[in-house]
């Protein structure tokens, strides 16, 4: 590999690791797949912020995504080169000793105790059978009899109309109107 490309890739990797939110994301997915809603619930950040950081990690090649219907699950990339893999391995060992990152993992496990993500190598479950379409039943229309009009006498006053105010026909223009005209 070209030394210049290797250096650029390493710099990109360190830039990706240089943000605390991205480190927290990597900490949560170091041994599992996680979807964006789980990240937002655990870390307390907005979905757009989490998605932006995940996109940054994907562009650097550290993270990969798997679509499952409407959900996208993120995990550490399986195709990392040896140096990146070794660096992340050491980073994950260091993360185990950090109280704040340990608390994030505990909060995730508490919030999603039964949340398990399928392995990439497990066969997918059988799709649900489609429901049969049932034709709509048309209900008979019921005719409503018109109301019977009766003559009632109401005491009413003639409506009073107020004359509309008269405006001067002199046109006033300001400088902007003169400019636009």
The SS3 of residue 52 is helix
> Residue 123 — pLDDT band, cuts 50, 70, 90?
very low
Instruction: Say which CATH class 8-111 falls into.
Output: mainly alpha
Q: Are 39 and 72 in contact (CB under 8 A)?
A: no
Ranking 11-15, 68-72, 95-99, 142-146 by mean pLDDT, the lowest is 142-146
Ranking 30-39, 55-64, 72-81, 129-138 by mean pLDDT, the lowest is 129-138
- Using the predicted structure, report yes or no on whether residue 11 has a pLDDT greater than 90: no
Q: Are 86 and 92 in contact (CB under 8 A)?
A: no
CB within 8 Å of 16: residues ≥ 6 apart:
22, 56, 57, 60, 62
Q: What percent of the chain has pLDDT over 70?
A: 62
Please indicate whether residue 159 or residue 121 has the higher confidence score (pLDDT).
159
Q: What percent of the chain has pLDDT over 90?
A: 35
CA neighbor of 14 nearest in space, from 76, 87, 86: 87
Say what the pLDDT of residue 82 is: 87
In degrees and rounded to multiples of 5, residue 111 shows phi and psi of -75, -30
Cα–Cα dist 94/143, whole Å: 78
Ranking 41-50, 102-111, 149-158 by mean pLDDT, the lowest is 149-158
Say what the pLDDT of residue 118 is: 43
- Residues 11-26 have a mean pLDDT of 92
- Using the predicted structure, report yes or no on whether residue 76 has a pLDDT greater than 90: yes
CA neighbor of 55 nearest in space, from 31, 10, 19: 19
Please indicate whether residue 144 or residue 2 has the higher confidence score (pLDDT).
2
Q: Tell me the whole-structure pTM to 2 decimals.
A: 0.60
Q: What is the mean pLDDT of the chain?
A: 77
CB within 8 Å of 28: residues ≥ 6 apart:
34, 38, 39, 42, 43, 104, 105, 108
Cα–Cα dist 91/27, whole Å: 9
């Amino acid at each position: 590999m070209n030394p210049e490309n290797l250096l650029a890739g390493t710099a990109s990797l360190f830039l990706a690791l240089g943000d605390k939110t991205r480190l927290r994301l990597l900490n949560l997915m170091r041994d599992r797949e996680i979807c964006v809603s789980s990240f937002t619930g655990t870390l307390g950040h907005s979905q757009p912020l989490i998605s932006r950081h995940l996109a940054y990690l994907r562009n650097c090649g550290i993270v990969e995504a798997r679509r499952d219907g409407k959900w996208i699950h993120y995990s550490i990339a399986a195709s990392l080169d040896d140096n990146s893999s070794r660096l992340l391995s050491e980073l994950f060992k260091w993360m185990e000793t950090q109280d704040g990152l340990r608390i994030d993992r505990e909060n995730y496990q508490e919030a999603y105790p039964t949340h398990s993500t399928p392995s990439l190598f497990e066969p997918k479950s059988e799709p649900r059978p489609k429901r049969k379409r049932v034709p709509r039943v048309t209900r008979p229309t019921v005719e409503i009899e018109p109301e019977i009009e009766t003559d009632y006498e109401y005491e009413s006053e003639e409506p009073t109309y107020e004359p509309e105010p008269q405006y001067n026909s002199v046109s006033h223009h300001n400088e902007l109107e003169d400019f636009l005209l």
